[in-house]
Amino acid sequence: MDIKIAVLDARTLDRGDISWQAVEKLGTLTRHEHLTPEAFQTRLGDVPLILTNKIIIDAGVMDKLPALRYIGVLATGYNNIDIAAAGERGIVVCNVPAYSTSSVAQMVFAYILHFSQQVALHNKAVKEGGWARSPEFCFWEKPLAELKGQSLGIVGYGAIGKQVARLARAFDMRVLVHTRHAVSGGDDRLLPVDRDTLFRQSDFISLHCPLTEDTREMVNERTLSLMKQSAVLINTGRGGLIDEGALDKALRARRLRAAALDVLGTEPPPPDHPLVANPHTLITPHIAWATRQARQRLVDMAAENIRAFLEGTPQNRLV
């Protein structure tokens, strides 16, 4: 029997450069660029399987979709799905873990190398004639720094945290890790520490923990006060991990060097968001996960989740 499958917000991950063939083999696929809630009932009323990246699926939406049996989250995070409501209605929900591990870790080091090497700054200086005017064979606008021997603090040690640590060790960095789980260091370049020690000793801090009540605004006025004035804060996790007002104040007071943020508490941010205007931030629009390879992997893994569900053995099941 041919089964209907609908993607609610395909444009969030596909700009025409990835294939949906793996999903199309499993049923009749309809891809909506961004379906509005007002259209759910008329467009999805007879669809049993839906895929969503960021569109909210709460109890009210579920009640409008009588045929709904399966929600596939096109992401690892699933805070846009009312898991309890799905469970009460017998709707299976599956996510896609670990599809973007290498891409996110790569972005972390894009930030770190930005601050260490100042490539874009010096390219701009050369293009504006700075090298041509230089009396010496070279020049630098800001100090350059080796990563060897510097400390990278990693908060959260799941798949992405581990990959970031592997890259850091390739650069001969000292790695400090804070996590709820036991960590075996193996050598003196990987040290499990408490949260305060990590904030005090790290030259770079990278956040890779889930957003929970324990971690919400874990970067706040107190923890920021522990950081080195020369330190850089990196967040590719969730915007809610940071008290953004406290970070803005700390940066403007020069209590730390900079913050590199791929996520904010509100996305897209309002035009007057203080961190966007802050001269000491480097902000990208939630793209650490968005390499073409990671987005293709995401779709292919979502297809495998659907296949497993149709075969009666759901995988990566949340409820």
Helix, strand, or coil here: 92?
strand
Report the C-alpha gap between 197 and 40 in whole angstroms. 49
- Active site includes 238? yes
Given CA atoms 300, 61, 37, 268 in this order, what sign does their dihedral have? negative
In Å, how far are 14, 91, 104 from 293, measured between CA atoms? 12, 30, 12
Contacting residues for 231 by C-beta, under 8 A, at least 6 apart: 202, 203, 204, 205, 256, 257
Are 162 and 175 in contact by the 8 Å Cβ rule? The answer is: no
At 140, list the tokens: 């630098």
Whole-number Cα distances in Å, 19 to 32, 174, 298: 15, 40, 11
Task: Give me the residues paired with residue 205 across strands.
Answer: 153, 233
Name which of 28, 30, 29 is nearest 2 in CA terms: 28
- Edge-to-edge strands of the sheet including 28-31? 28-31, 4-7, 49-52, 70-73, 92-94
* 317 secondary structure, DSSP code: B
From the candidates 255, 257, 286, 307, give the one annotated as an active-site residue: 286
What's the half-sphere exposure (Cβ side, CA atoms, 13 Å) at 57? Answer: 33
| Active-site pick, 178, 238, 295, 297 | 238
Whether 254 is catalytic:
no
Closest by Cα among 319, 256, 298, 314 to 97: 298
Choice among 128, 216, 267, 292 that is catalytic: 267
Is 200 an annotated catalytic residue? no
Active site residues: 238, 267, 286
